[in-house]
Amino acid sequence: MKTLLAFLICGFAAGSVLAQDKPCAPKRHAKLPAITELSYHRARKKLLAAGWQPWQTKSFNDSGIDPDISNGNGRLFWRKGYVEVESCAGTGVAACSFLFTDAYGNRLRVTTAGEELPRRKNYALVTGFRFACD
């Protein structure tokens, strides 16, 4: 009996974990342009043209002290008016994430890597994107 109960509990836990890993694919969404490997600035323009709108992730009052965007490229993106910046890492590949929404209420998370050094013409590149259902 204990073995059966343990098996059922483990099976339920594994099923819950697998259910969270399922891809989120809404039936209707704004067009998804090819943005991978573009600079974030170019990718953002393409997303806006396709109907995606920046989703403001932080309050203007707290943006200067918010640890999610006060590291790495976060401050630079925020100062440019990119209110969709969600978080940026201050180490490693300088990864950042950004959120957009469309007319259907879907959210799209865009990720980048690379340092923003405009004087050297070095820009963070889009590494991927996915629908955010969490």
What pLDDT score was predicted for residue 103?
97
Q: Where are the alpha helices (DSSP H) in the chain?
A: 2-21, 40-49, 74-79
Residue 77 in contact with residue 69, Cβ under 8 Å? yes
Residues sharing a CB contact under 8 Å with residue 34, sequence separation 6 or more, in sequence order: 46
Closest by alpha carbon to 133, among 52, 22, 16?
22
The pair of three-digit structure tokens given for residue 7, joined into one six-digit string: 């098996």
DSSP state of 30: -
In angstroms, rounded to a whole number, what is the distance separating the alpha carbons of residues 58 and 60?
6
CA atoms within 13 A on the CB side of 11: 6
pLDDT in tens, the chain (134 residues): 444 333 333 333 333 333 444 568 899 999 999 999 999 999 999 999 999 999 998 877 665 678 888 889 999 999 999 999 999 998 899 999 999 999 999 999 999 999 999 899 999 999 999 999 86
- Structure pTM? 0.79
- List the domain boundaries for the chain: 30-131
